Amino acid sequence: MALLTTMKPTFRTEWRALPPKEAHQILDKVDMLSEDPRPDAKVKKQLKYMGGKLHRLRSGNFRIIYTFDDRFVSLLALRRRDDETDDEDFDPEFLGGLDLDLAEAKKQAPAWEKAAGAAAGPKPLPRPITEELLKSLKVPGNHFKKLLAVTNEDELYDCTGVPDEVKLDLHAIFFETPIDRVLDQPDLLVPDVSDLLKYKEGSLLGFLLKLDAEQESFVDLNLSGTGPTLLKGGPGTGKSTVAIYRVKRMLEKLPKEPRPRILFTTYTNALVSFTKQLFEQLLGPDAGLVEVRTADSLVRQIVGGECGDNDVLNGNEATETVKAVTATATFAGNSLQQRAQRETVTRMKPDYLRQEICGVIQARAIGSVEEYLEAARPGRIVGLNTTQRRAVWAVYERFETVLKQRGKWTWEGLRRRALAKVEAGEWNHPPYDAVVVDEAQDLDPCALRLLATLCADPSKLFITADANQSIYGGSFRWTDVHDSLKFRGRRTGVIRTNHRSTREIGEAGASYLAEGEIDPPEAKALYGHNGVLPVVRTVASRNDEIELLARFLPGAARELRLSTSCGAVLVPSKETGRPLAAALSQKGIPAEFMPGTELDLRKPCVKVITLKSAKGLEFPVVAVAGFVDGKGESKSGKGTPEEEEENLRRERRSMFVGMTRAMRALLVVAPAGTANPLLKGFTRDYWNVG
């Protein structure tokens, strides 16, 4: 029985660059490997490096570097070799170098921080770039002139206007990626060896990620069960990838007639487009059976004309409205009771009062003061007695009246309205045959209840979540959301292996978050990659911050053999992000501030994004910055110690989410002598602190 074939992105790039004759020769050899990859002491040989894990196969002047197990052959790289050269044992240089001494590297200053001029001059290209090569890589003709003039590595990186993916492909071809780094790359599935030829010819656009054994085991979790399924896991564990494959398995199980309908909700609009493309690859024509959207886009569709595009208040607008209506609210009881209630809400921080009204009362569809008096408030540190809750309810009622008069909504109120319409049978759409909810921790109870209600069969509801990545709301009990959400025994799985970040970034993020955790880990995290310690540096001014970022972003990218535009700077707000992006551009680092609704990951520049908008994304190089001159600290005044503690925990989770967007390099920039508690908690055991 033939083995399944996977390949690394490095092999994919080197394959595309081959001339037609060599490409067909390699294709025949790959087909042979799928039948029998075992060494034969002739054309197939086991190499001595990395514990004998590596193998090579001769094919003319090329060598295919590969690994295999009892199920898969993994194609790692192609290496050019002259026939007359002895290759009984490849040397490290032939393999692109071996970067194995990570323990020693952790003790040193990052390479990007070392003095200018310490490195040698730019590496010359080993051979010229040719039109034939550019055509084989499907490079648009308008870039030929610039690329044909390139003679060294720096000129390649500095080719303005040329897409990053083109520069990275060329770099991988001319400056071979070290094999140990290739092994860190994800595996791409090759359903049939002939698909390689289709890809080279341009009729196949890409390949899906291969699940590892742990991820694969969760695709079928409780698939034939009687209730919903919950998959938990930390950042980078591949919960979203598992959810995508889960849809394929569901379609295989569902009746073919009538045609099934599956709803897949994801967190951001940027992820909607990306997820649709993945389904097109995985499902082919059946991709049309899956509706991919955000939960809030569905909410808007259900509510319809009741809410216009500009009728939803943002958080600041809702807080200001709460602050205004507090002064005009009417409180029940005698004069003493009324005064006590007014003092309660007056002492409460307006933003905290807004969170109580929107995040508890509206988000949980609490319909009466009696229900509110009995309601659990998990995740809220500040305890409220009966008098205090009656005071909050009075402000809530006034808040609702004012919103109705103005024709305005909060998102929480809009979700509650959508839920009410569906439960009352006012939305004339049939339920979905299955519903998959990705990143459920940041959906409020009303939104989750809505999605559960829209699923025709509770056993076809699949949810992924990580409470510690919750950046908006507090916690809640699943059974408080919907009666069907009872995750027991085999209905719950925990995925442990982080495939995104290095162990060092993951452990540093976890150590920072420790005091803000909602859901302590049920098992020790595992990691697929190792690296160097993430870095914390302090600066005295905004100019110093820009200088530091202008060294870090290109330096760290170059060390990873990537383009500067693979990096992102995550900031606390748009007010800090816009000027920071402008200042970086003036320093010669193309950068652009991108609001969440305008995120373009393909744009050839450093992406400057708010911490909250970065959720669900990943970047090889990440800097967390924008806190200089007190930027990023709360502007809404001090609350009680309990209110401040609750807010701090939520903001630390936002920082944690930002840190864990980093795959290989992470820098946190803090103002010198800062008192901001968000920028505390970096221990030298886990961080390179300077």
- Please give the domain boundaries of the chain with CATH numbers for all domains: 4-201 (3.30.2310.20), 213-304+431-495 (3.40.50.300), 315-408 (no CATH), 503-689 (3.40.50.300)
Q: How far apart are CA 491 and CA 514, in angstroms?
A: 27
Our CA angle for 5, 8, 14, nearest 5°, is 105
At residue 574, φ and ψ (nearest 5 deg) are -65, -30
- Cα diameter, the chain: 100
Lowest model confidence (mean pLDDT) among 195-204, 282-291, 532-541: 195-204
Report residue 600's pLDDT band, with 50, 70 and 90 as the boundaries: confident
| pLDDT value, residue 435 | 97
- 86 pLDDT higher than 60: no
Q: Which of 38-52, 227-241, 361-375 has the highest mean pLDDT?
A: 361-375
| Residues in CB range of 533: below 8 A, 6 or more apart | 106, 504, 508, 686, 687, 688
Residue 119: CB atoms within 10 A of its CB come to: 11
What 3-state class would DSSP assign to 494?
A: strand
- Nearest of 558, 548, 595 to residue 575 by alpha carbon: 595
Give the mean pLDDT of the chain: 84
Report residue 471's pLDDT band, with 50, 70 and 90 as the boundaries: very low
| Structure tokens belonging to residue 201 | 């010819």
- 323 pLDDT higher than 50: yes
- Nearest of 543, 599, 537, 544 to residue 568 by alpha carbon: 599
Report residue 475's pLDDT band, with 50, 70 and 90 as the boundaries: low
Model-level pTM greater than 0.85?
no
| pLDDT value, residue 682 | 92
At residue 7, φ and ψ (nearest 5 deg) are -145, 155
| pLDDT value, residue 102 | 46
Q: How far apart are CA 199 and CA 215, in angstroms?
A: 26
What stretch of H or E contains 380? none
- 375 pLDDT higher than 90: no
Q: What is the mean pLDDT of residues 315-324?
A: 92
- 486 pLDDT higher than 80: no
> Above pLDDT 90, what percent of the chain?
40
- 522 pLDDT higher than 70: no
| pLDDT value, residue 645 | 80
**What does the pLDDT look like over 227-270, one tens digit per residue?**
889 898 887 888 888 999 999 999 999 999 999 999 999 877 76
| Residues in CB range of 426: below 8 A, 6 or more apart | none
| Structure tokens belonging to residue 331 | 């409180």
Lowest model confidence (mean pLDDT) among 294-303, 504-513, 632-641, 666-675: 632-641
- Amino acid of residue 111: A
Q: What is the mean pLDDT of residues 519-528?
A: 69
At residue 302, φ and ψ (nearest 5 deg) are -65, -45
Q: What is the mean pLDDT of residues 97-119?
A: 55
- 442 pLDDT higher than 90: no
Radius of gyration of the chain from Cα atoms?
28
Lowest model confidence (mean pLDDT) among 100-104, 223-227, 237-241, 527-531: 100-104
Report residue 326's pLDDT band, with 50, 70 and 90 as the boundaries: very high
